[in-house]
Structure 1
Amino acid sequence: MAVLEENGVTKNRSRIQCLYGASFLALMTSVGPSFAQGVSGEDEYRTGDEIIVTGSRIARSNLTSPAPVEVLSSEKLEETGLDNLASVLYELPQFGRSDLSSTAGTFDSFNSGVNTVNLRNLGAGRTLVLIDGRRAVSGVSGTSAVDFNTIPVDFIDRVEVVTDGASAVYGSDAIAGVVNIIQKDDFEGVSITGRGGFTDEGGGETYSVSGTIGGNFGADQKGNAVLSVNYYEDKGLMASKRDFAAQDQFLGSVGPSSYSTFSPQGRFLTNLSTFADHFTFDDNGDLVQGFDRTVHGFNRAAFRTISSPSERLLVAAKANYDILENVTMFSDISFAQVDTIIIEEPRAFTSANVADGPAGGIPLDNPYIPQGLRDFIQARNSNADLGDDILSIEYARRLGEVGVRTFENSRQTLRTVVGLKGQIGSSWTWDAYYSYGQTLQSQTGEGQINTTNIISALDVEENPDVPGTFQCASRVARDQGCVPLNLFGEGSVTPEAANFIEAPGSFQATIRQQVAAANLQGTLFELPAGALGVAVGIEHRRESSREVPDVLTQTGQTSGEPRPASFGSFDVTEGYAEIDVPIIAGAPFAEYFGINGAARFADYSTVGSAFSWKAGAVWQPVEDIRFRGTYGRSVRAPNISELFTVGAPSFGSSLDDPCSGVGGAGFVDNTGGILTANCLMEAGVAQRVSEDGVFVQGDLNQQFISVTSSGNPALQEETADTLTVGVILTPRFIPGFAVTADYYRIEIDQAIQSVAGETLLQLCYNQPAGVRDQFCTAIDRYSSNPNGNAEFNTGQIDLIALQALNIGGVNTSGIDIAANYQIDLGNTFKLPGVINFGFNYTWLIELEQLTILPDAVSIDVLDGEVGASRHRWNGTVQYNTGPLQATYSVRFIGAAVDNNSRPIDDAFNYADPETYHDIQVRYGFGESLSVFAGVNNIFDNDPPNLPSGTSSADTGCNRPCSVYDPFGRVYQFGVTKRF
C-alpha cells in the first residue's frame, strides 16, 4: 500500500482527503454518508499547491481560505446509496427543512416532486446553487430555486458548500451560502451502475441505472468528451402503507373521530347549525337526520401519499478541446425529463364554494330531493316562528364519482454552456462563456369541479318530451351538454353527469435564464509572504418566467381558488473584483497572516443598483492552529414571483373592520382620534355616518372579505450582514486528528414578507397620515350600494389586496464543529486497514423571523422548532482495507417543539431527540467491479407523533415527514462495472 509522508503524517495516497472547508488536510480516507465537514478526495482536485475553492475566485493555497467550505467527494455520494443530491445534503446539519422535497409539498400540485435545499434554515431562495461555478436555471416558476432532481449524481465529481454569505463573489441569492456542484471532466473509460432500494414495511421502492462514458479525441488527443445517462424510478409511498399515516388524525383524535365530514353520500344543510340536524344517508342508502362523523365520515388518508411517485431521465455531456496552445474551447449540456404525480382524495366541495346564497345551493324544485327532506323543508317554511324560510338546500359533499384528484407534472430542463478558457503567461487564467437554461413544465389534472356547470346541472326539471325523466332547465346549458346532477347519496351521480361537471385542469410554465460572463484571475506581483492575487469579472444575466393555468382555474370556475396567469422578467449587469493579500509568512507567532476582500456592483432592471462586499482574514500563529474570519454584506434581489405575481381573490376571509362603530354612541377610539379621522377619510364610511349616524360592518361582509396576494414591483433588495469566526486545530502530537469550530451570524434586513389582512387593516387605520399610506392603498371599499343589496352597505370592504413588502427581518446564529481522526492500523497495531472517525455538529443558537411595522416589531422565535432543532450532528466510523470498505453512520436530530409560542408540556408540542443508524458494506473485485449493500434506519424509527393539527405535520403523512424519516428500515444494493 503506497503511502505519502506530509507534515509528519502518514496518509493513504489513493484516498487522501482535503478539508477545503476547514482549510486543512483532514488526513483520512473516504468517509460515510453523514460526515461531510469539508471532506473531499484531494488527489483528484489539487493542482500543485493551488486550488480554487467555491468561497473565492482566486487560486490559493487550500490552507489560506478565510471562508468555511464543505466538500463532498464523489466517493462519498456513492457511499450514501442515494440517487438525489438534495437527500444527501439534507443529512448535513447545516441544512434545514425544505418546503419542497419528495416528502414535502405533496399537496402543492404545481410543484409536486421538486427537490430544493434550505441552507441555514433561510429558504431555498437564499441558497445560491451553481454548477461548475455557474448559475443553474430554476425549477420553480417565478423563483431562483433549483430542482436537484435535474442533477445526475453519477456525473458529479464533488460538491462544495460555502456556509457564509457569498454575494460579493457570486451575486444575488447567496445570503445563506452557496452549493457548487462540480461535474466530472477529463473522464476516460466506461462505468455502469445499477442501484435499488426497498423498505421493510413495503412501498417506497426505488430503482436506477446509469452509465458514463468518456475519452480523449482529436489530433494529439487535445480533446475530451464525457457522456452520462441516468434513469431513476421512485414508486412513491402511499399513506395507507404506514400505520401512523393510514387513518385521518387531528391532534389527539385518530381514525373515525377525525374523519372528514365531506362524505361521498353528502351532508345536506337546511339553515341549521349543528350536525345533529343535518341530513345524510346511511350504509343502506336511506335518508337519516343527524350526521355523525364516526359513522358517516370519510377517511382521506386512504387516498393520500407520503412521497410522490416520480420518474427521471437525465442526460449530461461535457467536452473540451485545446484549439490553441493556451486556449481551450469547452461545452456543457444537460437535459432532464422529470415526471411526477400527486394523488389526492376526491374533491370536497360545498355550495358556498360554488356561489354565495341560494344560487349555490340545490333549488327546492329539484326533483331529486328525497321526500323526507322535502317534507322537512315544507314543514319548516310553513312555521313562521322558526325564522327565515329555507330558499335552497346547502350541501357539503365529496364527489367520489368523479374520481380521485391527480396532478401529473412533466418537466424538461435544458442547460447549455459554451465558452473559452485559457492562460496568459504563467500566472493568469481567464474564461468567457454563454449559458442558456430553460425549464418547461406541463401539468394535467383530473378530479376538479366546474362550478358553473354544477349550477346548471342542479337546476333540473322534468323532460316534457320523455315523461319520468329529467333534464337541465336551461336550454343554453342543454345545448352545451348539461346532464342533470343528483347529489343525494353515494353513487347517485351518473358517469355522464360526472363528465359534465368535471373540470380537467392544465398548467404550463416556462422559465428561462441567459448568462454571459467573463472572468480573469491571477497574480499581480509577489510579496514577501506570497503572491498578491486578484480576480475580476463581468456578468450579464436575464431571467424570465411565465405560468399559465387553464381558463377555468384563472377565472375561479373550479372548486379551487382562482390562480391568474403570471409572467415577468428582469435583467442585471454585474461587475466584481476580489483581492487576496498575504501579509506575513514564516514569522514568530505568524506562520501565516493574510487578508481577503471582494466587492460586487449590480445594476438591476427592477431594483436599480445593489452593492455587496466581503472581507476576510486568516492567521496561523503556529503550525498547529489557525484562526479565520469573514464579515460582509450580501444581497438578494426580489424574484419574479415576488415582483409580478397577479393576485386572485380567495374564497373569503373572516375579518373585523376597524371602522365598524365609528360615529355611533359608545364607540371607543383608543388611538386618540387617529382611527376615527382615518375612517372618515373613506367616502363610503363618511356617507354612512352622515346619513345613519354610524358605520356598521355587515355580518356577511365580516365573514367573507375577498383577499388577494400579489407581487409588488416596488420591492427593493434584501440585505444581510454576515459574520463568521473560526479556529482550525491540527495538533502534531495526535497524528491524523483535526478539528474545526466556526461561529456564524446572519442578520437579514428589509426581508420580503406579506402581512395578514387583519394586520393590514390595523396598520391603515391606526397610523397617522404618511405612515398609513403604503398600507391603505391595498384596501378597496364600496363607494355605492351595489344592486341595492342591503348587506353591502356603502363603505363595506370589497377587497384587500395584499402585497409583498420589505418589512421583514431574519436573525440566525450558531456554531459548526467538525472533527476527523484517522488511524492507520498497520502503523499503530500492525493490523491491516485504516479506520476513519468523522463528526459534524451544528448548534443553532438563534433563528428569529421579524416583522418590522411602524409601531412594533413582531418576533417569531423559530430555533428549537421542528426542522430547526438546536442540536444536530452526524458521525461516521469507516473501516477500509484493500477491496473491503464498511461504514457505520449515526444521524442525530435534537429535541424540538411544534411551536415555541406554546408551553413545552402542551399536548403534541414536543418531539423527542431522534437518532438514525445506517450501515453500508462495499467490496471491490479488482478495479473493474464493485458491489455494495446497506441498511438505512436500522432500528426502523417512526416520525414523532406530531399529527395533523400541528404546524409541523406534512399533509398526507400526519407527521413531520419532511424532517424525520417516514420510510422506516430501507435496504439498498447496487453494483458498478468499469471498463
Structure 2
Amino acid sequence: MKEKLLSRSVRLVCLGGMLVSMNAMAQEAPIQQVQVTGSRIPSPNAESSSPLQVLTATDIAASGVTNLQELLLKNPTLGAPAISRTNSNFTTSSAGVSTVDLRSLGTSRTLVLVNGRRFVAGVPGETAVDLNVIPTDFIERVDMLTGGASSTYGSDAVAGVVNIITKRNFNGIIVDAQGGQSTKHDDTKKKFSLTWGTSNAEGTSNIMTHFGYSKQGVVYSKDRPASAVDQNSAGDPDDLFKVTRPFYSSYAPQGRFFYDDGTYTYDRNGTPIPWNTNGTNGQQATGFNRSEYRSIAVPTDRYLLATTGTLALNENHNIFFEGNYAATRVSTRIEPFALGAEDIYPATGGQVPAEFLVNGVLRRNPIVPQYLYDRISDTDGDGLRDYYFTRRLSEVGTRGSKANRDTFRLATGVNGNFNLLREWKYETYIAYGQTKESQSSTGQVNVLNFRNALEAYQDVNDENNNNNRTEVICRDPNARLQGCVPINVFGYNTISPEALKYVTAPGSLETKITQKLAGGSISGEIFDLPAGKVGAAVGFEWRGEESSSEADALTQAGLNAGNALPPTFGKFNVKEAFAELRVPILKDQPFARSLDFSGAVRRGNYSTVGYTTSWNAGLEWSPIKDFRFRATRALSTRAPNINELYQPPQQTFPADIVDPCVGVTATSQGARDAACRAAPGVMANIQTNGSFTLTQPDIQGISGYDRGNPNLKAEKGWSTTVGLVWTPTNIPAIKNFTFTIDYFDIKIADALVFMPRQYALQNCYEGDGSLCGLITRRPAEVGANSAGSLEYIDSPVSNSGGKATEGVDVTASWAGRVGPGRLTSRLSWTWLRQGYDVPAPGAPRDYWAGELDVAAKNRASLNLAYKWGPVSISGTTQYIGKAALDDQFLAQLDIPRNGVMIGSKTYQDFQVNYEFRKKWELYLGIDNAFNTKAPPIVSGLPGSDTGTETAAGVYDPIGRRYYAGLRVTL
C-alpha cells in the first residue's frame, strides 16, 4: 500500500510539471492532502502554478552518484556550478564544495532547502549550501521550483528553490557499498552507507538514522593528454583554438635573471644560457610546466551522519527533529610558488640591490654571480647596481592546502492539527547550523625574511665574532639574531636547507558560518465557495546569519607573496511575516473544469537593508480534463550576503584579460589610443618597442582586489512563467504520458554583482573614465619589459543595472509495458532564448545566453529505464548544445558575437541492476560511456578552468568511469 501511495503522489506531482521517477509505477490511490514545494497550503492534487521538477530516490540510486550535485547538473534548468570538485583546485577556501545554480543567475539566487527549511551555508560569507553534506541515500526526492519564490521561502529564491526531502517512516536496514574508478585508474570512488529505521506499532512515532562514508580520489592534470602540458591560446583572431603548446611559465626553478640588455637562465650544470620559454628555433625550452603539478579533480573524503524522527504526543500533536553532521576532508595541490622580485621589493618595482652601503662602505653581495654583476647598472637612481629576477620556488615544495570542514545542523519543533471552527494544521520550529573550516597550507614564503636573506655580504670584519671573515652573512643584524641565512636563487636547487627554513611560511585559514532559525505557520481552509474550499496559510520566521574568515597574519598582510586576504566578519538578522491564499474560482463549468487563484506575500525587516516586500500571484486553469494552463507573476527580493556587504579588499589573479592598449603606437588615432598613451608606463613602453607590447610575465601577472560595499540595498527580481500541462487520459496508446511546456522570464533590477574586470578595462579607455580608478598600471620606472602593463584591476560590488534570463522548458514522460517488461522514460529540454547582465547603471546589456562559461542555448536530458523481472537497465543521455566564447572577450579582438563557436557535446551514462534473493541488488554502472572529450578551452580563453584546459564546470574533463555496488535491504 505504501508503494501505491508513493507512486500515485509522484504521478500527481508530475501533472504539476514535475519529472516522473524512472521506475515509478503509475497506479490509482486514494486522494490525500499533499504539500507541494512552492506552497505552504496542503492541497488534494499536488499541483503547482509554477514550473516544478522532481528527482526521486530511484533516480539517485540509478545514477550511482556519491554527491547530489553530480546528478542535479544533468538537469538543463541548472547552469554551471560556481564550485565543484573539478573547478575549485585553485580556490583559497571552499575547495571541493558542491553548489547549484538555477537558471545561471548565480548560486546566491538559488535557495537550497531541506524539508522546506533553510540549511546552513557551506561557503563563508555566502548563502550557497554545500551538497556534500546531504547524504544521497537519505533523500526521498528533490523538488526544483524554477521562478521567484521569495514570498514563500524568503530571500535568495530569485531564480528558484531546490528543496531536498529526506526519507521518513522507514523500517529496516539498508546497506549500500560501492567502488569505482576511471579508465585511467584515477578518480577512484569508494562508498559505504547504512540506513536504519524503526516505528512504533501504531506507526505514529518513528526514527531513522544514516551513516555514510565516501572517498573520491584525485585526478592530476598530467594524466590527461589535453592538460598534461602548459598551453595557451595563440591569440590568432582567425583561429582562437590555435594553441601555443608548450606555453611554459617564465617562472622557472633555476630562475630567470634580467640585466640591462636581456635575460638569461642556467642549465643543469649551473652554466648561464639564453632564456627560451617554449623551445623555439631548435633550442630546448627553459620554462616551467605547471601542469605537471596541477589537479583536475580534488580528492574528497566525507563522513556523514543524519537522523530524523517523530514522537507522537497524542493523535493530534507531534514532536519532530532533524540532525545532520558532515566531516569533509579536502586537499589541493598546485605548482611551487612563482616569486617575482616585485613581491619582495614592491616600492622599487622589483629592483634587487646587488651592492649596498654598510657604514659608508660599499659592499657587494658575493652570491650574485659575476656573469650578472658585470651586466647590470643602477636602475633605481640610488647609485648602486640592481637586478631583477623571477624564480619558481621548487625547494619550498608544491603549494597546497588540507582543509577539514565540519557541518552541524539540528532542527526540532512541534506540528499537528487543531480545530477552530475548522481543522487547521500548524508547525513551529527552531534550528541551529554551523559550518567550520580549518585549513593549513604550504608552499609560501615570508617576503620580509626573503628580503633579509637576499641582502648579504662577506663578513670581513667578523661582525658575528666567530673568527670567520670569509662567510657570507645577512645585512640586517636584527635579522641575523632571528636566524637569517643568506639565500642563493641562482640556479637549480641552490637554496640551502638553512635558508629555506628561514624563509618558509606555512599558512592557515579558519572560517565559521552560523545560522539560527525560528519560525512557525498555520494553514487550513477558511470558508467554502461554490468551486471549493478557500485555503490559507500565515506564519513568521526569524533568522540570524553570521560568518567569519581569518587567515594567518602574513596572509592577511600579503607578506607571504600570495593573495592578501584580510579577515572578513559580518552578521545580520531578519524578521519576516508571510501569508498565502488559494481561491477556487470555477469548477465543473463549460471550458472551466477548474480555475484556481493563488497568491502570497512576505514582509521582511533586515538589520542591514531595512524592509523588503515580495509577492507572487498564480492562476491554474483546466478547460477540459486533459489540459491545464498555469501562469505566475512574482516579485522576489534578495538581500546582500555578508561578503557583498563586509568583505575587505581580497586579492585575486584574474585570467583571460585582454588589454585594449595592446598595439597602440605613438601616432595611432582614436579616443582609446589617446587614453592609453596618457598612462606614463604605456608611453614609455611605446617609445621602447614602437607599439605597446606585453611580455608573457605581463600577461600572467595581472592581479586585483575584490571588495564589499556596506551601502548596498536589496535587489528585486520580477519573474513570469506561463505553461501548459497535457495528460491524455482518453488515448490508450499514450496512457501514462505527461507533457509540459513552460515559458519563463526573470528580470532582476539593481542586481548585486562584482564589477566585471574586462568591462571596467574596456570602458575606462572607450568612454567611462570613472572606471579608470579601478585600474593600476605599472609605472615607467620598472623598465621597458613591464612598463605600462596591468598590475591591478579591482572589482567592487554594487547594485548594478540588472540581470535577466528568458526561455522555454519542455518535459515529457511516459511509462508502460513494452514487451515482457516495463519501460519508463522522460525527456527534459531547456531553450535559453536570452540572458544578459547590465554591469553598471546605464551600461549596455552584456548578453551571455549561449556562452559556454554560463549556459548553452540548448540543453537536454533523456532518461530511459527498462525493467524485466529481476533485471533492470537504465540510461541517461545529457546534451549540451553548441556555445560561443564570451562576446566581451571577442570584442577586444574585433571578432563578432558568436564568431567563435564550440560544438555540441553528448554524454551517456548506463547502469544495470540485478535483484536476487529478493532483498539483494547488484548494480554495475558506467559514466561517460563513450568517453566524450571535453572541448579545448585552453588557458587564455574565457571559461577555462585552471589545470583542466576546458570549462570543467560544464564539460567532463575526466572521461569514462566505471563503478559496481551491492545494496542489501534487511
Q: Same fold (TM over 0.5)?
A: yes
Equivalent position of 1:870 in the other structure: 857
Equivalent position of 1:803 in the other structure: 796
**CA displacement 1:590-612 (0-9 Å, x = unmatched):** 11111100000000001100000
Residue 399 in 1 paired to residue 393 in 2? yes
Equivalent position of 2:267 in the other structure: 282
Equivalent position of 2:644 in the other structure: 642
Residue 247 in 1 paired to residue 229 in 2? yes
CA contact (8 A) 1:160 1:180 kept: yes
Report % sequence identity. Answer: 34
Equivalent position of 2:451 in the other structure: 455
1:940 Cα deviation (Å)?
0.8
**CA displacement 1:746-785 (0-9 Å, x = unmatched):** 00110012436898799999999xx98xx8999999xxxx
* Amino acid in the other structure paired with 2:713: Q
Equivalent position of 2:56 in the other structure: 73
Structure 1 pair 312–477 and aligned structure 2 pair: CA distance change class (3 A): same
Q: Which of 303, 315, 318 is the equivalent residue of 1:313?
A: 303
**CA displacement 1:941-962 (0-9 Å, x = unmatched):** 1101221111111101111122
Work out the CA distance in 2 between the residues paired with 1:878 and 1:847.
34
Work out the CA distance in 2 between the residues paired with 1:347 and 1:25.
52
* Amino acid in the other structure paired with 1:729: W
1:710 Cα deviation (Å)?
1.9
Structure 1 pair 169–490 and aligned structure 2 pair: CA distance change class (3 A): same
Equivalent position of 1:686 in the other structure: none
1:646 Cα deviation (Å)?
1.2
Structure 1 pair 30–802 and aligned structure 2 pair: CA distance change class (3 A): closer
| Paired residues, number | 903
* Amino acid in the other structure paired with 1:893: I
Work out the CA distance in 2 between the residues paired with 1:878 and 1:207.
25
Question: Which sits farther off after the overlay, 883-892 or 175-184?
Answer: 883-892
Residue 835 in 1 paired to residue 820 in 2? no
Q: Which of 693, 706, 710 is the equivalent residue of 2:707?
A: 710
CA contact (8 A) 1:19 1:25 kept: no
Structure 1 pair 759–238 and aligned structure 2 pair: CA distance change class (3 A): closer
Equivalent position of 1:973 in the other structure: 964
* Amino acid in the other structure paired with 2:747: E
1:427 Cα deviation (Å)?
3.2
Structure 1 pair 111–534 and aligned structure 2 pair: CA distance change class (3 A): same
Work out the CA distance in 2 between the residues paired with 1:316 and 1:133.
17
1:215 Cα deviation (Å)?
0.8
* Amino acid in the other structure paired with 1:314: L
Q: State the secondary structure of the residue aligned to 1:478.
A: helix
CA contact (8 A) 2:513 2:548 kept: yes
Equivalent position of 2:693 in the other structure: none
Question: What does residue range 49-60 of structure 1 map to in structure 2 within 5 Å?
Answer: 49-60=32-43
Work out the CA distance in 2 between the residues paired with 1:670 and 1:942.
44
**CA displacement 1:679-716 (0-9 Å, x = unmatched):** xxxxxxxxxxxxxxxx9967799999996432111100
* Amino acid in the other structure paired with 1:575: A
1:61 Cα deviation (Å)?
3.0
Work out the CA distance in 1 between the residues paired with 2:750 and 2:512.
29
1:17 Cα deviation (Å)?
6.9
Question: What does residue range 183-198 of structure 1 map to in structure 2 within 5 Å?
Answer: 183-198=166-181
Equivalent position of 2:786 in the other structure: none
Q: Which of 524, 527, 530 is the equivalent residue of 1:528?
A: 530
Work out the CA distance in 1 between the residues paired with 2:847 and 2:244.
33
Q: State the secondary structure of the residue aligned to 1:145.
A: coil
Structure 1 pair 916–922 and aligned structure 2 pair: CA distance change class (3 A): same
Equivalent position of 1:889 in the other structure: 876
1:293 Cα deviation (Å)?
3.5
Structure 1 pair 807–632 and aligned structure 2 pair: CA distance change class (3 A): same
Work out the CA distance in 2 between the residues paired with 1:587 and 1:403.
77
**CA displacement 1:487-524 (0-9 Å, x = unmatched):** 00010011221221111000011100001001111111
Question: Which sits farther off after the overlay, 422-431 or 68-77?
Answer: 422-431
Equivalent position of 1:374 in the other structure: 373
Q: State the secondary structure of the residue aligned to 1:293.
A: coil
CA contact (8 A) 1:546 1:568 kept: yes
Equivalent position of 1:260 in the other structure: 249
Equivalent position of 2:287 in the other structure: 297
Structure 1: state its 5+ residue gaps: 5-10, 32-39, 659-665, 677-694, 782-788, 790-796, 826-830
Q: Which of 929, 934, 952 is the equivalent residue of 1:938?
A: 929
1:545 Cα deviation (Å)?
0.5
* Amino acid in the other structure paired with 1:334: N
1:563 Cα deviation (Å)?
1.2
Structure 1 pair 776–245 and aligned structure 2 pair: CA distance change class (3 A): closer
Give TM-score, length-normalised by structure 1: 0.86
Structure 1 pair 221–157 and aligned structure 2 pair: CA distance change class (3 A): closer
* Amino acid in the other structure paired with 2:176: T
Work out the CA distance in 2 between the residues paired with 1:27 and 1:804.
38
Residue 233 in 1 paired to residue 215 in 2? yes
Work out the CA distance in 2 between the residues paired with 1:824 and 1:52.
31
Equivalent position of 1:661 in the other structure: none
Work out the CA distance in 2 between the residues paired with 1:540 and 1:106.
36
Equivalent position of 1:812 in the other structure: 805
**CA displacement 1:274-323 (0-9 Å, x = unmatched):** xxx20200132211244443220111101000000110001011121012
Q: State the secondary structure of the residue aligned to 1:946.
A: coil
Equivalent position of 1:720 in the other structure: 717
Work out the CA distance in 2 between the residues paired with 1:51 and 1:221.
19
Work out the CA distance in 1 between the residues paired with 2:660 and 2:958.
48
Structure 1 pair 616–764 and aligned structure 2 pair: CA distance change class (3 A): same
1:867 Cα deviation (Å)?
4.0
Work out the CA distance in 1 between the residues paired with 2:774 and 2:523.
50
**CA displacement 1:859-910 (0-9 Å, x = unmatched):** 2434343441111111122111232211122111101112235388999942
Question: What does residue range 170-185 of structure 1 map to in structure 2 within 5 Å?
Answer: 170-185=153-168
Structure 1 pair 409–28 and aligned structure 2 pair: CA distance change class (3 A): closer
Work out the CA distance in 2 between the residues paired with 1:652 and 1:872.
29
1:358 Cα deviation (Å)?
7.3
**CA displacement 1:618-649 (0-9 Å, x = unmatched):** 11111111101101101110000000111257
Work out the CA distance in 2 between the residues paired with 1:554 and 1:617.
54
**CA displacement 1:823-861 (0-9 Å, x = unmatched):** 323xxxxx422112221111111111112435x434243
1:479 Cα deviation (Å)?
1.3
Work out the CA distance in 2 between the residues paired with 1:18 and 1:170.
23
**CA displacement 1:446-468 (0-9 Å, x = unmatched):** 00121111100101122433344
Structure 1 pair 74–799 and aligned structure 2 pair: CA distance change class (3 A): closer
Work out the CA distance in 2 between the residues paired with 1:649 and 1:700.
27
Residue 919 in 1 paired to residue 910 in 2? yes
Structure 2: state its 5+ residue gaps: 235-241, 280-284, 356-363, 662-666, 686-697, 783-789
Work out the CA distance in 1 between the residues paired with 2:436 and 2:869.
47
CA contact (8 A) 2:155 2:636 kept: yes
* Amino acid in the other structure paired with 1:961: A
Give TM-score, length-normalised by structure 2: 0.86
Residue 210 in 1 paired to residue 193 in 2? yes
Residue 735 in 1 paired to residue 720 in 2? no
Question: Which sits farther off after the overlay, 452-461 or 357-366?
Answer: 357-366
Work out the CA distance in 2 between the residues paired with 1:350 and 1:215.
63
Equivalent position of 2:688 in the other structure: none
Structure 1 pair 314–268 and aligned structure 2 pair: CA distance change class (3 A): same
Work out the CA distance in 1 between the residues paired with 2:763 and 2:727.
56
Q: State the secondary structure of the residue aligned to 1:77.
A: helix
Work out the CA distance in 2 between the residues paired with 1:29 and 1:706.
48
Question: Which sits farther off after the overlay, 22-31 or 476-485?
Answer: 22-31
Q: State the secondary structure of the residue aligned to 1:125.
A: helix
Work out the CA distance in 2 between the residues paired with 1:853 and 1:29.
45
Structure 1 pair 221–440 and aligned structure 2 pair: CA distance change class (3 A): same
Work out the CA distance in 2 between the residues paired with 1:939 and 1:904.
34
Question: Which sits farther off after the overlay, 808-817 or 255-264?
Answer: 255-264
Work out the CA distance in 2 between the residues paired with 1:184 and 1:976.
17
* Amino acid in the other structure paired with 2:248: Y
Equivalent position of 1:431 in the other structure: 427
Work out the CA distance in 1 between the residues paired with 2:22 and 2:799.
45
